[in-house]
């Protein structure tokens, strides 16, 4: 890892406060940068903004003053979610100012080897699996997790030592803002069309994901889903050692499934049925995670114990509870069609009451129809409600109900359910039409289910 500090005595604009911006500003200040923060929201009552002001960091809020940004600035560190069409970003680009996300900033000082994980789906689960495996029976150091998983990499960048590992979940938004970032191990769980409203095209989205390997060398590793031909073709453009994983074919140079067991190369690791979370997608996540673990020298016993005990990730096909033999699952992290397909496939032999809907990004939901064969009822909400009702009709689903939101969907689903049913929230859409984020949407679902449970206890 290079010892460097590009930011000392340089003027840096942090665009967008939020959690990542707050910690980026603090770290830049410690590195000796001349930092200014700008956010379109009014931060006059914001505690984080007040803390930055108290340390001497200017905070300009309530609007984006393009005249603030001139050629005396050396860098912009932007919130990953801010699009490149933003007026301040366009101003920076016109001035030739490099634009980074906090991942690049954190890399500046991280001394530990980095394991970087991205993908359209499964990256949070895979990141968590790797984190848990690497911390089990560890002899020295610890494995940190950071990045898109909700822990800014800048918060652990000073703590991580050479004997540690930093396991980073990275979004396409974050990867757009890297320059020298160099993971020793990179993982791409899968790629499908996603966030096209941000990137403009599928090609641009895939290119953003592929940046994860752009600085890797033949001494590094790139773990890829070999069941996707697109990733096989892209693999030829990486300098890293390719480690493939597949659920469908035997790959003696990677991780694979054979006779219902997980293998790495020719080594039998654990039975598929021992993985602690359901679903075909979690077999793929486990294969990616065990490939990382084997490269890092983890024992088969640690891999087995961690994956068998794995209870899943909140909001990702998360089992909430059972009420009168109805099982409730929260898959609010399902913000695209592929994620919903994956969730529906996780219960092949169970009748499903499917709760879906959200932000209208112009998607056509016809690709869901083949996955609705065991859906007995659909409850839809949000901007995409009509589109989802249309595909439910095409799929021959007899019970189709439109409700206001997730809170209203839960009691309605329970009302029409029978013993043995799966009540599955897997929206297939982003949440921003009604909720701040998918976490809030999932929490509303959980609260509504817990309300049903309390009501049942009172009536018992």
Q: What is the pLDDT of residues 11-60, one digit of tens each?
A: 999 999 989 999 999 999 999 999 999 999 999 999 999 999 999 999 99
Distance separating alpha carbons of residues 434 and 416, to the nearest angstrom:
24
Nearest to 226 by CA among 165, 287, 185: 287
Residues 262 and 148 in one domain: yes
Check whether residue 80 and residue 66 sit in a common domain: yes
Is 122 within any annotated ligand binding site? yes
Q: 437 in a domain, yes or no?
A: yes
Residues 183 and 244 in one domain: yes
Q: Could you tell me if 347 and 305 lie in one domain?
A: no
- Annotated ligand binding at 124? The verdict is yes
User: How many CB atoms lie under 10 A from the CB of residue 96?
Assistant: 7
Is 123 annotated among the ligand-binding residues?
A: yes
Count up the domains in the chain and report the number: 3
Terminal Cα distance for the chain, rounded: 62
Is the residue at 334 inside a domain?
yes
Per-residue burial over 53-80, b if 16 or more Cβ lie within 10 Å, else e, is eeeebebebeebeeeebeeebbbbbbbb
Asked, for residue 1, whether it belongs to a domain, the answer is no
Please answer whether residues 148 and 158 qualify as being in contact, where contact means their C-beta atoms are separated by less than 8 angstroms: no
CA distance 359 to 381: 10
* Measured CA distances, 70 to 11, 76, 106 (Å): 10, 11, 25
Q: What is the mean pLDDT of the chain?
A: 93
Q: Which residue has the higher pLDDT, 319 or 372?
A: 372
Q: Is 384 annotated as a binding residue?
A: no
pLDDT for the residue numbered 277: 84
**460 has a pLDDT exceeding 90:** no
Two tokens, residue 6: 């590009």
Considering the domain architecture, whether residues 145 and 287 belong to the same structural domain is answered as yes
417 and 357 in a common domain: yes
Which residue would you say has higher pLDDT here, 459 or 174? 174
Instruction: Please say if the pLDDT value at position 322 is more than 70.
Output: yes
Question: Residue 217 annotated as binding?
Answer: no
**Is 154 among the domain residues?**
yes
Q: Give the CATH number of the domain where residue 209 resides.
A: 3.40.1190.10
120 is in an annotated binding site: yes
Same domain, 88 and 20: yes
What pLDDT score does 5 carry? 82
314: pLDDT confidence band, cut at 50, 70 and 90? confident
In a domain, 6, yes or no: no
Residues in Cβ contact with 78 at an 8 Å cutoff, skipping those fewer than 6 apart? 14, 15, 16, 86, 89, 99, 100, 101, 177
Q: What is the pLDDT of residue 201?
A: 85
Q: Are residues 46 and 180 in the same domain?
A: no
Exposure b/e, 190-211, CB count within 10 A at least 16 = b: bbbebbeebbeeeeebbbbbbb
> Does residue 172 contact residue 199 with C-beta atoms inside 8 Å?
yes
- Residue linked to tokens 């996540």: 285
Q: Starting at the edge strand that comes first in sequence, how are the strands of the sheet with 59-61 ordered?
A: 59-61, 34-39, 11-15, 73-78, 99-100
Query: What CATH number did the domain enclosing 42 receive?
Result: 3.40.50.720
- Structural domain contains residue 3: no
190 and 163 together in one domain: yes
What the block records as the tokens of 206 is 């895939």
Is 215 part of a structural domain of the chain?
yes
pLDDT in tens, 350-394: 899 999 999 998 889 999 999 999 999 999 999 999 999 999 999
Residues 167 and 256 in one domain: yes
Say which CATH number the domain at 398 has: 3.90.190.20
Residues 169 and 289 in one domain: yes
Q: Which domain holds residue 140?
A: 104-309
Question: Which of 77, 100, 123 marks a domain boundary?
Answer: 100
* 362/451 same-domain check: yes
> Does residue 373 belong to any structural domain of this protein?
yes
pTM score, two decimals? 0.76
pLDDT for 194 beyond 80: no
Q: Which among 288, 309, 330 is the end of a domain?
A: 309
pLDDT tens-digit profile of 151-173? 999 999 989 999 999 999 999 99
């Amino acid at each position: 890892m290079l010892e460097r500090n590009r930011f000392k005595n340089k003027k840096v604009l942090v665009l967008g406060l939020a959690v990542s911006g707050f910690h980026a500003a603090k770290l830049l200040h410690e590195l000796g940068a001349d930092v200014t923060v700008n956010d379109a929201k009014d931060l006059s009552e914001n505690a984080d903004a007040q803390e930055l002001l108290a340390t001497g960091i200017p905070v300009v809020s309530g609007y984006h003053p393009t005249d603030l940004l001139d050629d005396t600035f050396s860098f912009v560190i932007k919130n990953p979610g801010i699009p490149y069409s933003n007026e301040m970003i366009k101003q920076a680009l016109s001035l030739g100012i490099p634009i980074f996300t906090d991942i690049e900033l954190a890399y500046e000082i991280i001394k530990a080897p980095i394991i970087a994980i991205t993908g359209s789906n499964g990256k949070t689960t895979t990141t968590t699996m790797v984190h848990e495996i690497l911390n089990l029976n560890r002899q020295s150091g610890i494995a940190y997790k950071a990045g898109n998983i909700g822990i800014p990499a800048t918060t652990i960048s000073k703590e991580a030592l050479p004997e540690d590992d930093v396991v980073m979940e990275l979004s396409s938004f974050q990867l757009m803002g890297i320059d020298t970032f160099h993971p020793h191990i990179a993982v791409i769980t899968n790629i499908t069309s996603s966030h096209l409203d941000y990137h403009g095209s599928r090609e641009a989205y895939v290119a953003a994901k592929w940046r994860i390997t752009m600085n890797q060398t033949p001494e590094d590793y790139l773990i890829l889903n070999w069941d996707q031909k697109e990733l096989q073709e892209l693999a030829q453009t990486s300098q890293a050692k390719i480690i493939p994983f597949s659920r469908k074919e035997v790959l003696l140079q990677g991780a694979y499934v054979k006779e219902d067991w997980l293998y790495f190369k020719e080594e039998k690791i654990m039975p598929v049925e021992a993985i602690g979370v359901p679903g075909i997608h979690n077999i793929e996540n486990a294969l990616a995670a065990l490939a990382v673990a084997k490269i890092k020298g983890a024992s088969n016993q640690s891999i087995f114990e961690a994956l068998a005990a794995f209870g899943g990730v909140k909001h990702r096909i998360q089992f909430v509870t059972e009420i009168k033999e109805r099982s409730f699952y929260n898959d609010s992290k399902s913000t695209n069609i592929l994620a919903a397909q994956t969730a529906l496939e996780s219960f092949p032999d169970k009748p499903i009451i499917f709760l879906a809907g959200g932000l209208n990004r112009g998607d056509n939901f016809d690709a869901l129809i083949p996955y609705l064969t065991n859906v007995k009822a659909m409850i839809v909400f949000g901007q995409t409600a009509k589109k989802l009702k249309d595909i439910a009709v095409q799929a021959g689903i007899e019970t189709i109900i439109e409700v206001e939101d997730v809170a209203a969907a839960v009691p309605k689903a329970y009302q029409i359910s029978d013993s043995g049913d799966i009540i599955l929230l897997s929206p297939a859409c982003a949440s921003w039409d009604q909720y701040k984020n998918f976490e809030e949407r999932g929490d509303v679902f959980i609260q509504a289910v817990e309300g049903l449970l309390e009501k049942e206890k009172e009536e018992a």
